[in-house]
Amino acid sequence: MKITTIIFIIIALTGSGLGLAAGTRYELRVDGLACPFCAYGIEKKFTRTEGVESVEIDLKNGLVIVNTSEGKKFSEDQLKTIIDDTGFTLRSVSVKPR
């Protein structure tokens, strides 16, 4: 039992460590997205940022999903500035570990 508990704790700690090592997923609700050609600036801005692994754009739902590598963090102000620089409006941000 004790050994089982110890093994479980080790696995839990390792698992959470792996979760942290996998980076962060930012789900941005963005307004003004209607045109794929116009949205290219969002992809360009994020993919040129160090630590960003991928960017997905969902026009219909107004979503921009940015996956970052371990250690790369965005503040809400930084995300707002990036979206504003591409000509759109950031409504909300949801942050999840990957």
Residues found near other proteins in the complex (CB under 8 A):
31-45, 56-62, 84-89
Q: Which of 9, 42, 48 is nearest to 28 (CA)?
A: 42
Nearer to other proteins, 3 or 35 (CB): 35
Rounded to the nearest whole angstrom, what is the least distance from the CB of residue 39 to other proteins in the complex? 6
As measured in angstroms, the least distance from the Cβ of 30 to other proteins is 8
Secondary structure of 8-49 in the HEC alphabet? HHHHHHHHHHHHHHCCEEEEEEEECCCCHHHHHHHHHHHHCC
Residues paired with 85 in a beta bridge: none
Nearest-approach distance from CB 98 to other proteins, in angstroms = 21
Kindly tell me which of 10 and 34 has the beta carbon lying closer to other proteins.
34
